[in-house]
A and B are shown apart, each in its own frame.
Chain A
């Protein structure tokens, strides 16, 4: 390895641009890795896809099997098969679900907006609540409220989300009739004209206020369940991040010169804590996506979570792989955005 100054071009290039390019390339490599994982899992595992697709009787006829293998390229070497698979992915072809008999890609495209609607709602809510609670806990460190918050957030992290969904559904819908039933809209409302696929936004765009409120009320329980879990995670991280910032000299100086507490919190503490918090938001998004897979089926919420549940319980491999791939790529994208924002917020990151 050559030791010495880096090449001139690299030094003069815009540092943020270099950082961004490096992060994008890493993410692309990871996406390729993710496809490799799903490919290997679909191919190298026990269970013969031929028998699964054709059924026992047809699988015993060598002619049919040979024809099937040739048709789907199963007689090719694995490396060739992988590139065929990659090519198919690039064309948006994720295979055909063995439960719905539709192309997985179109199934997922249909289901995704439903999931995004609850995921966005949950992440926004939990960031707000988590930042407030975490800051309070840090400021009141060692006091009773800090310990109460600690117990609450630990408990939140310990609840099985699928069970919490069931319990809340039972109480709020089945017993108390406060929350609406399952699905995204009551049957007496028409689905608003699709623009974004998010019913609340579409209803507003179409000017149908009653549909908007109905869609919003259906969001309540699923968003609540997902939020409760993520809030626990965020509260703890925000607390640690804020504690570390509170220890910094510049915060001490701001306090010492008598700035109002509110100014110190907003302009000094939270601004400094924003970077670690941002990272956790990226990570929390992953737990949120996992949460939807476990939660949606209980609310009959027609998102990718219900789809995953259905596919998993029927051992529908193309369906499961499709969801895995989609969520894996979404998770990478979110964390890429987080990392890029990181670079925007903290100049030091670009150089490291």
Chain B
């Protein structure tokens, strides 16, 4: 990935503030990003207001069992007589906040460790980077599965497992960015002015590396949702009777004839993940115009 260039030499170190990166959206990515943001917003609202808009109690087993959609309920009922529509809505309030929390936590942990590694170098760098190597030596779902199985099946442990596997990519990215800026004139001159390491990192470096990190984070929300629902699908996340999308799909395998049991929770996952990925993609485009727009060389021949 190419990173936005920072014009290091023209910046007066004493006056450097967080400059909003200039966003340049491509002709097509902007509408996609906006559409993604709209869908994501709807899902976030659903997650917040789920208890108010559910037509039925998602846990109550008081409807006719395995009723097809349209026969009294919007998305049918499951094998225990619960309303699938209400459970899909309720699933949003389980998965979406946890995934957002997961991404925020891994950004924080990864960025802090990566900044430390890149700024201080030497053995600290060596230690942190070897740990990231080790975690990244596994395919993420596999390592998360192994950790979640060892910790025991619960939603909390699934999030913990996902956190353990997802911080290293931020640590690597941050370290690379910090290393790139570490020797630049304005950081060095800041230090000559007597800035402490913390102040250097916070005032001179952080504002200039925030963009790429946020792009990675926005692209990661979808991955987090897929990871958490995948763990639940494996039986390592949400416990019954919690309405969680992955475990709903997993339960649907038992009643194959009743297609609505698996279709709707899966569509819920798909739409949320697509929405967040469109946002992330548009952001990446805007921050890194070289990768997509017509400008910047390329097919000029």
Contact = CB atoms under 8 A, between A and B. Distances in A.
Interface of A: 30, 33-34, 37-38, 41-42, 45-47, 139, 141-142, 147, 150-151, 154-155, 157-164, 166-167, 170, 174, 240, 243, 246-247, 252, 255-256, 286-287, 289-290, 293-294, 297-298, 308-309, 311-313, 315, 317, 320-321, 323-324, 327-328, 331-332
B249 to A, nearest CB: 5
B146 A41 contact: yes
A166 B262 contact: yes
B146 A320 contact: yes
B78 interface: no
5 contacts: A158-B222, A290-B142, A294-B230, A327-B139, A328-B143
A37 B28 CA distance: 44
Interface stretch (B49-57, B107-115, B290-298): B290-298
Given A41-B146, A327-B142, A294 B233 contact: yes
A61 B140 CA distance: 40
Contacts of A287: 139
A160 B152 contact: no
B150 interface: yes
A256 B297 contact: no
Contacts of B149: 311-312, 315, 317, 320
B63 interface: no
A273 to B, nearest CB: 14
Interface of B: 26-28, 32, 133-134, 137-143, 145-153, 222, 226, 229-230, 233-236, 246, 249-250, 252-253, 256, 259, 262-263, 265-266, 269-270, 273-274, 277-278, 281, 291-294, 297-299, 301
Contacts of A37: 134, 138, 143, 146
Nearest to A36: B134
A338 to B, nearest CB: 14
Contact of B256 (A150, A158, A170, A293): A170
Contacts of B297: 247
Given A158-B222, A158-B277, A160-B266, A321 B137 contact: no
Contacts of B292: 141-142
A321 B150 CA distance: 9
Nearest to B223: A157
Contacts of B253: 166, 297-298
A331 B138 CA distance: 7
A160 B222 CA distance: 10
A293 B226 CA distance: 14
Nearest to A285: B139
A317 B148 CA distance: 10
6 closest A-B pairs by CB: A163-B266, A290-B141, A286-B139, A313-B235, A324-B146, A158-B273
A24 to B, nearest CB: 15
Contacts of A163: 249, 262, 265-266, 269-270
B274 A158 contact: yes
Given A150-B281, A313-B234, A324 B298 contact: no
B146 A293 contact: no
Given A160-B233, A160-B269, 5 more contacts: A45-B152, A46-B151, A166-B253, A293-B234, A331-B138
A294 B299 contact: no
Contacts of A162: 230, 233, 246, 249-250
